Amino acid sequence: MKNTVRGALISGLVLAVAACAPAPKPIVVAPKPVVVPPAPVIPPMPLPPGGAAVTMKVPPLGIDGVRTTPNRGLSREENIWHLRSGLNVAALNCQGPVWGEIAQNYNRYLQVHKSRLAQTNKAVDSEYVKRFPGQNGLRVRDTRMTDLYNYFALPPVRAEFCDRSLAKSREILAIPSTALPEYSFGALADLDAVFINFFNAFEKYKVDIAEWNARYGPQPLTAPAPVAAAGSPASGK
């Protein structure tokens, strides 16, 4: 009996102590932060080199891997005349305090090499007459010279062309006329390299803009597939 009473008293004390204890704090689980993916970084759209028109055409590569410009595959005398044509365009198009010297040097060049240039002109005329039998070879030459002048006047490379022409206009005054063929071959190649480098850069631009459009450009709308009319068989062609 005493043990029963003692157990009841202990149980009551335990319950009383438990009633006085502070209530346990609820466990709050913080929500996981929402990870917002960063906005995609779109690189600038590629632009044509030198501000060229996006539709311009460039000379194709030859079998030797070099651009087939008007200055490729020339005879010994044509190299002399094409260099003269390039310097002529530079004398006309490259003006101002930096390039104005080209016109002065070009006029001196015509005087220093007057006899050799006259010989070259006759030789090139003869070559065209032989090259185009049954045609007006001289007219063919005039047409090609017009194309050559337009080629040398390509706006996107004007500054680089003028810089290089200035150097050539100085060098050629110190060249003896007997060495003009050899000098013209190398000097013309140096001038033409300005254009070849530009054409190569333009071809790279076309690859870059195609890749950019494929990744970042607007996607073309896809037309829904036509639905065959009820009762009509689908075409098997």
> At residue 231, does pLDDT exceed 50?
no
92: pLDDT strictly greater than 60: yes
Degrees to nearest 5, angle at CA 215 with 213 and 221: 70
Spatial separation of the C-alpha atoms in residues 79 and 180, rounded to whole Å:
9
Cβ contact 83:191 at 8 Å: yes
Confidence grade of residue 5 (pLDDT, cut at 50, 70, 90): very low
pTM score, two decimals? 0.76
Distance CA 79, CA 60 (A): 21
Distance, in Å, from the CA atom of 123 to the CA atom of 6, rounded to the nearest integer, reads 138
Residue 2 CB partners (closer than 8 Å, separation 6+): none
Angle at alpha carbon of residue 51, lines to 49 and 54, rounded to 5°: 80
Amino acid 29: pLDDT: 74
Helix axes 114-131, 101-112, angle to 10 degrees: 80
CB-based contact 151:44 (threshold 8 Å) = no
Q: Which residues pair with 61 in a beta bridge?
A: 67
Name the token pair of 90. 């530079």
Quick: pLDDT tens for 94-149: 999 999 999 999 999 999 999 999 999 999 999 999 999 888 999 999 999 999 99
pLDDT for 219: 54
Which residues are 67's β-sheet partners?
A: 61
pLDDT band at 30 (very low <50, low <70, confident <90, very high): confident
Above 50 in pLDDT, residue 228? no
pLDDT tens-digit readout, 143-191 = 999 999 999 999 999 999 999 999 999 999 999 999 999 999 999 999 9
- Report whether 170 contacts 200 (CB < 8 A): no
Mind giving me the DSSP string for 90-106? HHHH--HHHHTHHHHHH
Q: Which of 20-24, 25-29, 85-89 has the highest mean pLDDT?
A: 85-89
